[in-house]
């Protein structure tokens, strides 16, 4: 077989190459210099992730995004999601330095696995061919299983890993079965865009494959009813891993969902949109209602992340230009607020060794900085103005109202009220006067190296959570550009002409009738 | 111009929160400096305001999030400016009068200032989404203020109840705003560009009901009021002053501005129902207040009753009644503030709020004579005794509404009488009678505790004798707000609306 090297267009994968190189370098440095150099590994990983992000920037809008004979599409949509994944991986590294040291786990392998997961997630957000999708998905999944079972002396981590592995493997199987059906129905095509025209008239069989594929994807999104693994895995896994799973892995899942649904099933948009409406409502309701009853912080954040995925799915379910754009923006804001919350949880559990919500009581006196960071991030998750989460939610709801998805907006608003309750409960506990025993024993004396990076990460996420609201307009135009320049989304309808909401208030009021 | 009133307190809050190593007294003086600057600035705005001009003044516009239609757009008219000024004044009083509960001052003053900035923003916002943003911004500071500095063990319950009621109210309002802008074909969230004229009646009714329930929770109207007695009683006096004095006005303001302003035609249709609810609220508030044994709860229920008048006046929507409603908002804010402040002083000195225990505070030497005297003044102002500001407002409301809704108006007149009844009970049990010799060793009242009440009493007295100084800001606005309703009522296609404006 004769492959034209130019047609490979291999340059679009530079960020991935760099992540791979970093991964190998981390492994080699650890092999060669052993314990002595283990302090430098996280910084190496950070450096690699930074360079990868830098190489991602020039790829913002490419002339020819298709590479590797159609397996990978480096369109702006994938660039946005790859950037999200890189950022969340970098922030995860920041928060794991101290955590790994303190729990005396092997250092190098952790970063190698984390970089592997990052790589899988990045490839997944650009894959446009079924074999490639599956390979990337499995790369992400297998590294995630390993990471969640990383604290091997902890029973709960083992249980989490096993649970995650079993459910994940089953859902991969279902996903694979769906794709094999697609392959068969389309007469042997693996390109998503090639499949679309061939299955348009297929009816029920195509829908069968749609359901199977959606089930596989929804496992990654932890959409209800494919969410059962989330609370247990979040509770058992090492906290930095959970942070990456809740943001990076989810972003990859959403990228996959957008690409798969719009490329392979454009003819069935009504059906899959109805499906996602249902899943979004279930996720919002269950996630928020069950989160109210939680006593462990990580479990509460697990249910909250289920609910947050439900909000993001609103954008997917309405399937308009505004919907996708609001989805991207919400994931972007969610990234910072969720990672910020997890960083605060990591810091607290490093110093007190517990995740119980009641243990946070009275923290205000001992550590105002931690209280501030956690409060702002949780309030942003709840959608309290003027934080980033408020604008993200507002934009999502406005997009939904524009495409007249009133049911979704109704459930979104009602469950938001419920979510305020449990997020504010934590804030309230931190501000009360009576400290918990853990807070009474709270000390910053035992802090050694690694706390500084964690604090830097907390500062970054908090500042982003506060500032993103004011910076929302440029972000919207960024998201819009990425959508407009993405070929597979060209045919997506806009709910209304863009000029619908005028930019000025000075237009004369027409009350005079 | 208006931005200063929003951002000054916010900057103050940041400064209070981050000032390194300051003592409680230093923090208080910083906060007080910012609050004083706010009062002076709003006095300057009142000075510059041209009451003869209808429409908005001090307009500011900065484009912000165009795809959503959220812009930083401010402006004030005769409806909002007096409330903005009231807000500045009450924030100042809340901060000034807080010298005696100095626990965790950093958070306390920060939250108070933040709440003040948010309320100024909500009154000044001329964009529906911006209004919602500021409205939601109130949620958390007040929740924390009630919860962390509340009076008794029940404060957690009261604060959570307040939080959930307010959150529900916020989301109803957001739903109504989103629906309105989408359905009516207007192109933006800028206030005044929506026109509901083309909407089918049933849609208008649904949207208006959402607004009514949303703002009705905040005002509060009778079936939606149950958060209020708990929240007011559990809140410390300065917080109660802000809650009742300003936050309740935010609900009434929203109802007038958005309910009446955006749905003039449907408003005329639902007016009889609203007037009835207003009258029921007034009656309910009065009777419940009579039954209370706790002076703070009494004042809280009196607040419910007085807000009923505003609804009656808004329902009637005549120039006179709307002017009355605006005056009632300001006067109720002042009266409630003085009452809550004095009740707070009484509780701090005597140690109880129980009507069966309090007695003889009027005693010139061992009692609290000046506080008692001011309490008598405040009670009389609340009951609508001529010469005080409450009378002016109530009289305008009643006179303006009588032609439209005579029965409801008469009910409200009866309630004015009932107000006098429960305030006489209150004053009789607290101020008159004899001191109990065993317990009457009260700490002296300091000037810092008297000053706010004296200032408020002065304002109440002056505005009662010279009501022109209060009404001049709002007269033109009241008239301009009525015009769309009247023209709607005169259209033949809505006979019910027309009928509602004639005596029935």
**What would the pLDDT profile of A20-29 be if each residue is shown by its tens digit?**
999 999 999 9
Q: Is residue A495 part of a domain?
A: no
Q: Is residue A291 part of a domain?
A: yes
From the list B148, B160, B178, the residue facing A398 with the nearest CB is B178
Q: B20-67 pLDDT, tens per residue?
A: 877 888 888 999 999 999 999 999 999 999 988 888 899 999 998 888
Count: domains in chain A: 1
Residue A446 confidence (pLDDT) above 90: no
Q: What is the pTM of this model?
A: 0.92
Q: Is residue B154 part of a domain?
A: yes
Q: A202-227 pLDDT, tens per residue?
A: 889 999 999 999 999 999 999 989 99
Q: What is the mean pLDDT of residues A170-174?
A: 95
Residue A80 confidence (pLDDT) above 80: yes
Q: Is residue B25 part of a domain?
A: yes
From the list B104, B144, B178, the residue facing A401 with the nearest CB is B178
Q: Which of A176, A175, A106, A173 is nearest to A146 (CA)?
A: A106
Domain that holds residue B356: 1-483
Q: Which of A416, A420, A499 to mutate to test the interface with B (most CBs of B within 10 A)?
A: A420
From chain A, pick out residues whose CB is under 8 angstroms from the CB of B164.
417, 420-421
CA A249 to chain B, closest CA, distance in angstroms equals 29
Q: What is the pLDDT of residue B504?
A: 40
Residue A87 confidence (pLDDT) above 70: yes
Answer whether B176's CB lies under 8 Å from B245's CB: no
CA A433 to chain B, closest CA, distance in angstroms equals 8
Q: What is the pLDDT of residue B491?
A: 52
CA B183 to chain A, closest CA, distance in angstroms equals 9
Would you place residue A506 in the very low, low, confident or very high pLDDT band (cuts 50, 70, 90)? Answer: very low
From the list A421, A500, A509, the residue facing B193 with the nearest CB is A509
Share of chain A above pLDDT 90, in %: 66
Answer whether B2's CB lies under 8 Å from B45's CB: yes
Q: Is residue A223 part of a domain?
A: yes
CA A78 to chain B, closest CA, distance in angstroms equals 23
From the list B107, B144, B171, the residue facing A416 with the nearest CB is B171
Would you place residue B494 in the very low, low, confident or very high pLDDT band (cuts 50, 70, 90)? Answer: very low
Would you place residue B497 in the very low, low, confident or very high pLDDT band (cuts 50, 70, 90)? Answer: very low
Q: Is residue A337 part of a domain?
A: yes
**Which of A427-436, A483-492, B292-301, B361-370 has the weakest average pLDDT?**
A483-492
Chains A and B form CB pairs within 8 A to the count of: 126
Q: Is residue A253 part of a domain?
A: yes
Interchain contact, A404 vs B182, CB within 8 Å: yes
Comparing A326 with B436, the larger pLDDT belongs to A326
ipTM of the complex in this document: 0.90
From chain B, pick out residues whose CB is under 8 angstroms from the CB of A502.
69, 187-188
Interchain contact, A506 vs B178, CB within 8 Å: no
From chain B, pick out residues whose CB is under 8 angstroms from the CB of A410.
175
Name the strand (E) or helix (H) holding A306.
Answer: helix A297-318
Q: Is residue A176 part of a domain?
A: yes
Q: What is the mean pLDDT of residues A472-495?
A: 79
* CA distances, B227 to each of A154, A254, B163, B221, B474 (Å): 47, 41, 9, 11, 31
Name the strand (E) or helix (H) holding B483.
Answer: helix B475-490
Q: What is the pLDDT of residue A117?
A: 96
Q: Is residue A73 part of a domain?
A: yes
Q: B201-233 pLDDT, tens per residue?
A: 898 999 999 999 999 999 989 889 999 999 999
Q: What is the pLDDT of residue A509?
A: 37
When the pLDDT of each residue in chain A is averaged and rounded to a whole number, the result is 89
Answer whether B41's CB lies under 8 Å from B8's CB: yes
Q: Is residue B201 part of a domain?
A: yes
Q: What is the pLDDT of residue A3?
A: 65
From chain A, pick out residues whose CB is under 8 angstroms from the CB of B139.
384, 420
Count: domains in chain B: 1
Neighbours of A255 (CB within 10 A): 25
Interchain contact, B175 vs A513, CB within 8 Å: no
Q: A392: nearest CA in chain B? A: B68
Residue A330 confidence (pLDDT) above 80: yes
Neighbours of A101 (CB within 10 A): 18
Answer whether B206's CB lies under 8 Å from B131's CB: no
Please give the Cα distance from A406 to A398 (Å, whole number). Answer: 10
DSSP3 helix / strand / coil % (chain A, rounded to 5): 80, 0, 20
Please give the Cα distance from B235 to B239 (Å, whole number). Answer: 6
CA B445 to chain A, closest CA, distance in angstroms equals 29
Q: What is the mean pLDDT of residues A155-177?
A: 95
Interchain contact, B187 vs A404, CB within 8 Å: no
Place of tokens 């300001």: B330
DSSP3 helix / strand / coil % (chain B, rounded to 5): 75, 5, 25
Q: Is residue A503 part of a domain?
A: no
Domain that holds residue A345: 7-489
Q: A196-208 pLDDT, tens per residue?
A: 888 888 889 999 9
From chain B, pick out residues whose CB is under 8 angstroms from the CB of A431.
107, 144, 147-148
From chain A, pick out residues whose CB is under 8 angstroms from the CB of B197.
513
Q: What is the pLDDT of residue A218?
A: 94
Residue A252 confidence (pLDDT) above 70: yes
CA B80 to chain A, closest CA, distance in angstroms equals 19
Q: What is the mean pLDDT of residues A411-424?
A: 93
Q: Is residue B432 part of a domain?
A: yes
Beta strands A72-73 and B57-65 are unpaired
């Amino acid at each position: 077989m004769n492959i034209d090297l130019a047609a490979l267009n291999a340059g679009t994968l530079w960020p991935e190459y760099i992540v791979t190189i970093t991964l190998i370098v981390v492994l080699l440095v650890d092999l060669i210099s052993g314990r002595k150099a283990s302090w430098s590994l996280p910084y190496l990983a950070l450096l690699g992730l930074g360079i990868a992000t830098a190489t991602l920037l020039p790829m913002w809008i490419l002339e020819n995004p298709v590479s590797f004979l159609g397996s990978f599409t480096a369109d702006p949509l994938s660039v946005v999601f790859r950037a999200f994944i890189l950022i969340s991986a970098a922030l995860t590294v920041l928060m794991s330095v101290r955590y790994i040291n303190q729990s005396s786990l092997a250092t190098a392998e952790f970063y190698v696995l984390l970089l592997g997961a990052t790589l899988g997630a990045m490839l997944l957000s650009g894959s446009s061919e079924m074999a490639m999708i599956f390979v990337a998905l499995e790369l992400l999944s297998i590294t995630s299983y390993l990471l969640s079972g990383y604290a091997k002396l902890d029973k709960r981590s083992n249980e989490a890993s096993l649970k995650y592995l079993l459910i994940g493997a089953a859902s991969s199987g279902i996903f694979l079965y769906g794709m094999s059906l697609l392959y068969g129905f389309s007469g042997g095509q693996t390109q998503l865009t090639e499949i679309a025209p061939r299955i348009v008239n297929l009816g029920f069989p195509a829908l069968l494959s749609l359901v199977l594929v959606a089930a596989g994807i929804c496992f990654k999104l932890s959409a209800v009813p494919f969410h059962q693994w989330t609370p247990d895995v979040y509770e058992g896994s090492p906290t930095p891993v959970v942070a990456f799973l809740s943001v990076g892995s989810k972003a990859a899942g959403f990228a996959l969902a957008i690409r798969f649904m719009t490329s392979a099933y454009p003819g069935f948009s009504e059906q899959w949109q109805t499906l996602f409406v249902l899943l979004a409502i279930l996720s919002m309701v269950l996630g928020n209602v069950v989160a109210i009853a939680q006593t462990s912080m990580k479990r509460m954040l697990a249910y909250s992340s289920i609910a947050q995925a439900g909000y993001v799915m609103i954008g997917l379910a309405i399937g308009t230009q505004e919907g996708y754009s609001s989805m991207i923006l919400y994931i972007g804001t969610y990234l910072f607020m969720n990672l910020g919350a997890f960083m605060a949880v990591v810091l607290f559990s490093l110093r007190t060794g517990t995740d119980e919500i009641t243990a946070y009581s009275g923290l205000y006196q001992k550590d105002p900085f931690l209280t501030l960071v956690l409060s702002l991030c949780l309030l942003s998750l709840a959608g309290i103005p003027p934080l980033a989460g408020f604008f993200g939610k507002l934009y999502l709801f406005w997009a939904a109202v524009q495409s007249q998805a009133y049911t979704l907006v109704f459930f979104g608003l009602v469950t938001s009220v419920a979510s305020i309750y449990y997020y504010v409960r934590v804030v309230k506990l931190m501000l009360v006067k009576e400290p918990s025993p853990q807070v009474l024993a709270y000390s910053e004396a035992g802090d050694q190296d690694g706390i500084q990076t964690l604090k830097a990460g907390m500062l970054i996420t908090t500042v982003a959570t506060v500032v993103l609201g004011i910076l929302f307009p440029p972000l919207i135009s960024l998201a819009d550009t990425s959508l407009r320049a993405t070929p597979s989304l060209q045919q997506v309808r806009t709910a209304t002409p863009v000029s619908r909401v005028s930019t000025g208030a000075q237009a004369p009021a027409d009350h005079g009738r | 111009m208006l931005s200063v009133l929003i951002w000054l307190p916010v900057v103050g809050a940041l400064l209070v929160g981050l000032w390194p190593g300051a003592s409680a007294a230093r923090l208080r003086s910083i906060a007080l400096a910012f609050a004083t600057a706010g009062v002076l600035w709003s006095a300057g705005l009142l000075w510059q305001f041209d009451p003869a001009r209808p429409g908005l003044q001090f307009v500011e516009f900065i484009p912000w999030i165009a795809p959503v239609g959220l812009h930083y757009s401010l402006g004030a008219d005769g409806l909002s400016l007096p409330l903005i000024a009231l807000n500045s004044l009450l924030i100042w009083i809340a901060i000034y009068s807080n010298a005696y509960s100095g626990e965790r001052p950093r958070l306390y003053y920060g939250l108070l200032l933040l709440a003040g900035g948010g309320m100024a923003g909500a009154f000044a916002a001329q964009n529906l989404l911006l209004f919602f943003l500021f409205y939601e911004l109130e949620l958390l500071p007040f929740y924390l203020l009630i919860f962390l500095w509340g009076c008794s063990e029940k404060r957690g319950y009261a604060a959570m109840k307040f939080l959930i009621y307010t959150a529900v109210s916020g989301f109803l309002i957001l739903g109504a705003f989103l629906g309105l802008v989408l359905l009516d074909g207007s192109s933006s969230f800028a206030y005044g560009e929506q026109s509901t004229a083309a909407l089918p009646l049933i849609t208008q009714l649904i949207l208006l009901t959402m607004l009514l329930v949303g703002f009705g929770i905040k005002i509060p109207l009778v079936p939606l009021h149950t958060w209020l007695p708990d929240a007011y009683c559990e809140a410390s006096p300065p917080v109660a002053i802000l809650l009742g004095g300003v936050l309740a006005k935010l609900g009434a303001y929203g109802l007038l501005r958005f309910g009446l302003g955006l749905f003039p035609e449907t408003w005329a249709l639902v007016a009889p129902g609203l007037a009835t609810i207003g009258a029921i609220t007034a009656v309910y508030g009065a009777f419940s207040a009579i039954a209370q044994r706790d002076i703070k709860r009494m004042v809280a229920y009196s607040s419910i009753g007085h807000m009923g008048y505003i609804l009656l006046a808004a329902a009637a929507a005549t120039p006179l009644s709307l002017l009355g409603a605006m005056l009632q908002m300001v006067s109720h804010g002042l009266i409630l503030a003085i009452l809550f402040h004095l009740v707070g002083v009484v509780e701090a000195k005597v140690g109880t709020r129980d009507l069966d225990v309090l007695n003889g505070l009027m005693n010139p030497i061992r009692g609290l004579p000046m506080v008692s005297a001011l309490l008598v003044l405040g009670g009389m102002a609340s009951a609508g005794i001529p010469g005080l500001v409450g009378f002016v407002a109530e009289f305008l409301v009643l006179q303006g509404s009588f032609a439209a809704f005579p029965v409801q108006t008469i009910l409200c007149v009866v309630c004015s009488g009932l107000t006098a009844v429960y305030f006489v009970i209150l004053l009789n049990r607290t101020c008159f009678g004899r001191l109990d010799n065993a317990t009457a060793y009260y700490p002296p009242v300091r000037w810092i505790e008297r000053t706010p009440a004296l200032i408020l009493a002065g304002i109440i007295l002056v505005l009662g004798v010279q009501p022109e100084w209060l009404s001049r800001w709002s007269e033109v606005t009241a008239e301009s707000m009525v015009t769309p309703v009247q023209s709607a009522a005169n259209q033949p296609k809505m006979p019910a609306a027309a009928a509602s404006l004639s005596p029935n």
